[in-house]
């Protein structure tokens, strides 16, 4: 993949939040390492899904890329420019090319503003041209009626509010849209409509997406590539079909083993990996490989002390695991003390 093919290139991105004690004279006693050394490539015109457990740092990564939270270290190259180093007017000008669709549209839309103001205010802030056709065009683009312009967010359903959020994002004609759990707050019947809308807008406007989600089925449906995040770092990235069919990282294997299979015979007899314990605290992450405290393939010789780098094992398939090749070849077996690995038995 050439440099021109990559719209967003993230290298070594860190977002740390200080832990302070004291009411008046506060002192820093530690840091929450929400994002800690992320490398991520988002190809131009494609959709990259970002998955992981709650607390893995997915949303913070998205906000750090957009500079909604200030990165502690690292670079964020957007179309060749390091936006992580920009400030003030330069950042404002560049930010119009990167927009976000938030998880909860009711929280992200100002309840005191009608739809017309919600859609035009960002455009005026970024000095984009606004005329009498702007709002009708955006409403038509996301499948809302023209009379929606004078109404307020509380007058719409959850799916309609999310369409308003999408219209607000694409109104600035961005190249990159980061969608943070765009359908998790919606009914299942509405989720497909919003996902189809995002796909249609990508085809019509040439958008590039970074979709953050915890629903693995949703991610597979919308994504060309999938990146898996664990405790502040990317542990695997590959094409969607390849990652789901042949995951290489032990954490990804555990995630994929939890995805339901529509064939009941396969579902009842396939292998499942149930990880023991909870994700460690980002304020005190483990040394070495972040996953070694829960990994069924842990090898103390390296996993406890040496942090693995994200390396390419196959074309376009990167993984951060010291023993990915041996695990794939079956040379290292899972330890029962770290995880329960078994075959489901039919009931009833």
Whole-number Å distance between alpha carbons of 151 and 156: 8
Please report the pLDDT score of residue 269 as a whole number.
Answer: 67
Residue 219 domain boundaries: 3-97+173-246
Is residue 331 one of the residues assigned to a domain? no
pLDDT tier at 3, thresholds 50, 70, 90: low
Strand bridging mode 176-180 / 98-101: parallel
Is residue 318 one of the residues assigned to a domain? no
Strand bridging mode 47-51 / 208-212: parallel
Is residue 303 one of the residues assigned to a domain? no
Number of folded domains in the chain?
A: 1
Is residue 261 one of the residues assigned to a domain? no
Please report the pLDDT score of residue 243 as a whole number.
Answer: 92
Is residue 276 one of the residues assigned to a domain? no
CATH of the domain at 209: 3.40.50.300
Strand bridging mode 73-78 / 47-51: unpaired
Q: What pLDDT, in 10s, does the model give residues 53-89?
A: 888 999 999 999 999 999 999 999 998 888 888 888 8
DSSP at 57: S
Burial of 23 (0-12, 13-18, 19+ CB in 10 A): exposed
Is residue 347 one of the residues assigned to a domain? no
Is residue 140 one of the residues assigned to a domain? no
Q: What pLDDT, in 10s, does the model give residues 299-344?
A: 888 899 999 999 999 888 999 999 999 988 888 888 754 444 444 4
Bridge partners for 10 per DSSP: 40, 76
Strand bridging mode 208-212 / 176-180: parallel
Is residue 127 one of the residues assigned to a domain? no
pLDDT tier at 226, thresholds 50, 70, 90: very high
Mean pLDDT value of segment 187-200? 91
């Amino acid at each position: 993949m050439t440099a021109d093919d990559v719209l967003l290139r993230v290298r070594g991105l860190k977002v740390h939040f200080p832990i302070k004690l004291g009411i008046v004279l506060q002192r820093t006693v530690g840091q929450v390492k929400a994002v800690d050394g992320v490398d991520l490539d988002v190809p131009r015109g494609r959709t990259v899904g970002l998955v992981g457990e709650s607390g893995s740092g997915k949303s913070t990564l998205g906000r750090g890329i957009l500079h909604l939270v200030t990165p502690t270290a690292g670079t964020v190259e957007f179309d060749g420019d390091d936006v992580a180093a920009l400030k003030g007017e330069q950042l404002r000008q560049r930010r119009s090319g990167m927009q976000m669709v938030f998880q909860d549209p009711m929280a992200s839309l100002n309840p005191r503003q009608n739809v017309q103001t919600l859609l035009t205010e960002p455009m005026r802030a970024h000095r984009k041209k606004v005329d009498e056709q702007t709002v009708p065009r955006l409403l038509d683009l996301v499948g809302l009626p023209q009379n929606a312009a004078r109404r307020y967010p509380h007058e719409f359903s959850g799916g309609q509010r999310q369409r308003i959020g999408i219209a607000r994002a694409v109104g600035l004609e961005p190249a990159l849209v980061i969608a943070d759990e765009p359908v998790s707050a919606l009914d299942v019947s509405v989720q497909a409509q919003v996902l189809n809308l995002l796909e249609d807008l990508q085809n019509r406007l040439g958008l590039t997406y970074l979709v953050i989600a915890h629903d693995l089925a949703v991610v597979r449906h919308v994504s060309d590539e999938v990146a898996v995040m664990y405790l502040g770092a990317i542990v695997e990235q590959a094409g969607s079909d390849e990652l789901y069919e042949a995951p290489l990282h032990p954490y990804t294997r555990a995630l994929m083993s939890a995805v339901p299979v529509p064939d009941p015979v396969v579902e009842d007899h396939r292998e499942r990996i149930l990880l023991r314990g909870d994700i460690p605290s980002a304020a005190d992450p483990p040394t070495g490989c972040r996953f070694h405290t829960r990994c069924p393939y842990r090898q103390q010789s390296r996993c406890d002390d040496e942090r693995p780098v994200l390396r390419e094992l196959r074309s376009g398939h990167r993984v951060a695991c010291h023993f990915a090749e041996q695990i794939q070849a079956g040379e290292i077996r899972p330890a029962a003390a770290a995880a329960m690995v078994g075959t489901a038995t039919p009931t009833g």
